[in-house]
């Protein structure tokens, strides 16, 4: 989280008739968007505050990372989606504080602070990646939680093949460049490993001259004894077999203990330690709920679990604060999984509850989650699905996956273009979205080296400060220098430490 610069504070006034019930929704993900839409006919004024301007369809991030879909197809602008909902406004900003006593939410964007008052609050800020206390792994093994992650990974994956071609031209050993390791064998890890294998074995096989992309190694590592643990042993075993048929090496029971620029180290239960030399690592293990959960727990005494999820009442409200609902990936309630349907159904429930109260209707009672099933794709035409006690595998499961994702992609035009891109990738062997820029790959590292991130790159609102301008130029130059690739192919090495 960036430190807010001191700046004038704006009080968000809202636009509705005076005295209208004000609902603030934090987040534009599944919970935030579906909660806001559910309130479209309610006699309220809704303000959605989110740190991105888009609604993100996270389940398809891996397809952006591997060049199948464009980022726009899975991340349409929230403002456009809500343009016809007259009672809703959208504010860009990262929420840094929630004051339950004063009933206000404070958000920041590029040094501008906004304080927004509410009568009811729906918090749907989701979860980020967890490196289980090893946050320094993030620089070398990006996770996959947002568009920045997916585009950075796209650049790293396609970039690794390019660097391997260059190295092979010079007669160097390029095995470390042609080895891709995915950490975490949940649905995201399985999908990612399957897609990289397809890239190497199908898509890119005729595109290079000095390397044979089919020799690329794709390794999927997990500390658990099976892949897809929530899907049960049988579907886990089927998925493992399918991945191996695709050429993915599945390494189970291995805990990743270190990650660096050139590879990663794993420790097995029997004490064995192994290292894999790999430039491209992808982290798909573990989630940590938004830090806003801790803010709310401090003020209410609600418990937090190890993943930072907050314990809520059965009606999704906070103890002593019936006006505050928390939904989706942020909550710990009845072992509900961190999936889109929990967020969607929870947010719709919260919105209805607010509407019922205003209309004097009785409460709906405790929140009840309806499990519609889970599915994961392995490769084109291969998926696994679990609906109640029914287990489906192979092509039928893949067709179901296709249908469900088409229904939930937001916007008609996005559905049409996604189908076209899927035809290109699944029936043909192409990838329409292979473009990646240097800034996508290294921009984040550069920003991380600035003192306060992007805030350092802009003037405070309404003022021009020549000294600050000079300092900014200095910081930018340092950041650019430190993240540039060295001749030996190293990245992210401080200038002074370079060999």
Ligand X SMILES: Cc1cc2nc3c(=O)[nH]c(=O)nc-3n(C[C@H](O)[C@H](O)[C@H](O)COP(=O)(O)OP(=O)(O)OC[C@H]3O[C@@H](n4cnc5c(N)ncnc54)[C@H](O)[C@@H]3O)c2cc1C
Helix, strand or coil for residue 239?
helix
114 binds ligand X per the rule CB under 6 A? no
Report residue 377: phi and psi, to 5°. Answer: -90, 150
183 binds ligand X per the rule CB under 6 A? no
What residues act catalytically? Answer: 191
Contacts with ligand X in 292-311 (CB under 6 A)?
A: 292
Nearest residue (CB) to ligand X, 31 versus 167: 31
Instruction: Single out the segment in contact with ligand X by CB under 6 A; choices: 22-30, 305-313, 348-356, 478-486.
Output: 22-30
343 binds ligand X per the rule CB under 6 A? yes
339 binds ligand X per the rule CB under 6 A? yes
Helix, strand or coil for residue 326?
strand
Distance CA(484)–CA(413), nearest Å, equals 38
Among 2, 12, 21, 29, binds ligand X (CB under 6 A): 29
Nearest residue (CB) to ligand X, 95 versus 441: 95
181 binds ligand X per the rule CB under 6 A? no
- Count other Cβ atoms within 10 Å, centred on residue 366: 12
Contact 482, 446 (CB under 8 A): yes
Distance CA(163)–CA(233), nearest Å, equals 39
Q: Give, as one character, the DSSP assignment of residue 41.
A: T
219 binds ligand X per the rule CB under 6 A? no
Nearest residue (CB) to ligand X, 145 versus 240: 145
Contact 40, 135 (CB under 8 A): no
* Binding residue count for ligand X, defined by CB under 6 A: 32
254 binds ligand X per the rule CB under 6 A? no
Each residue 49-78 as x (binds ligand X by CB under 6 A) or -, in order, gives: xxxx-----xx-x-----------------
188 binds ligand X per the rule CB under 6 A? yes
Helix, strand or coil for residue 252?
strand
Burial class (CB in 10 A: 0-12, 13-18, 19+), 460: middle
**Nearest Cα to Cα of residue 126 among 348, 369, 349, 338:** 338
Our CA angle for 391, 394, 397, nearest 5°, is 60
Nearest residue (CB) to ligand X, 30 versus 158: 30
Distance CA(117)–CA(227), nearest Å, equals 46
Minimum CB separation from ligand X for residue 189, in Å?
9
Among 338, 411, 453, 492, binds ligand X (CB under 6 A): 338
Residues in contact with ligand X by CB under 6 A are 26-32, 49-52, 58-59, 61, 94-95, 124-126, 144-145, 187-188, 290, 292, 328-329, 338-341, 343
């Amino acid at each position: 989280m960036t430190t807010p610069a001191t700046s004038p504070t704006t009080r968000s006034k809202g636009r509705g008739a005076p005295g209208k019930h004000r609902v603030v929704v934090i987040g534009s993900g599944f919970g935030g968007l579906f909660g806001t839409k559910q309130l479209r006919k309610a006699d309220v004024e809704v303000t959605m505050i989110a740190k991105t301007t888009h609604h993100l369809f996270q389940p398809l991030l891996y397809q952006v990372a591997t060049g199948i879909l464009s980022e726009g197809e899975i991340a349409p602008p929230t403002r456009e989606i809500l343009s016809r909902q007259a009672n809703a406004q959208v504010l860009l900003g990262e929420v840094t504080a929630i004051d339950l006593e004063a009933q206000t939410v404070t958000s920041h964007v590029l040094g501008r602070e906004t304080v927004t008052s509410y009568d009811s609050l729906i918090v749907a800020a989701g979860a980020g990646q967890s490196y289980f206390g090893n946050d320094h792994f993030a620089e070398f093994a990006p996770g996959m939680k947002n568009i920045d992650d997916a585009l950075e990974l796209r650049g790293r994956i396609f970039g690794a093949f390019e660097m391997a071609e260059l190295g092979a031209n010079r007669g160097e050993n390029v095995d470390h460049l042609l080895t891709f390791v995915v950490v975490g064998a949940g649905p995201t890890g399985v999908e990612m490993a399957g897609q990289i294998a397809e890239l190497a074995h199908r898509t890119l096989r005729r595109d290079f001259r000095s390397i044979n992309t089919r020799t690329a190694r794709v390794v999927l590592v997990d500390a658990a004894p099976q892949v897809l643990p929530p899907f049960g042993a049988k579907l886990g075993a089927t998925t493992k077999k399918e991945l191996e048929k695709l050429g993915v090496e599945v390494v189970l029971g291995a805990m990743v203990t270190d990650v660096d620029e050139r590879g990663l180290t794993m420790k097995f239960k029997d004490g064995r330690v192994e290292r894999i030399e790999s430039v491209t690592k992808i982290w798909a293990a573990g989630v940590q709920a938004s830090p806003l959960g801790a803010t709310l727990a401090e003020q209410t005494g609600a418990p937090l679990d190890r993943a930072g999820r907050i314990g809520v009442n059965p009606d999704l409200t906070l103890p002593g604060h019936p006006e505050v609902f928390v939904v989706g990936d942020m909550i710990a309630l009845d072992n509900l999984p961190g999936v889109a349907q929990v967020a969607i159904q929870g947010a719709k429930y919260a919105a209805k509850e607010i509407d019922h109260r205003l209309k004097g209707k009785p409460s709906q009672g405790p929140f009840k989650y309806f499990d519609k099933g889970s599915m994961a794709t392995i490769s084109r035409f291969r998926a696994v699905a679990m609906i109640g006690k029914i287990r489906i595998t192979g092509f039928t499961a893949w067709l179901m996956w296709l249908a469900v994702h088409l229904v939930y992609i937001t916007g008609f035009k996005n559905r049409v273009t996604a189908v076209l891109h899927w035809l290109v990738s699944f029936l043909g062997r192409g990838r329409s979205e292979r473009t990646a820029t240097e800034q996508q790959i290294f921009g984040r590292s550069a920003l991380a080296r600035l003192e306060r991130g992007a805030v350092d790159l802009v003037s405070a609102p309404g003022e021009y400060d020549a000294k600050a301008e000079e300092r900014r130029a200095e910081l930018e130059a340092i950041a650019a220098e430190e993240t540039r690739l060295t001749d030996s192919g190293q990245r992210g090495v401080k200038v002074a430490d370079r060999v």
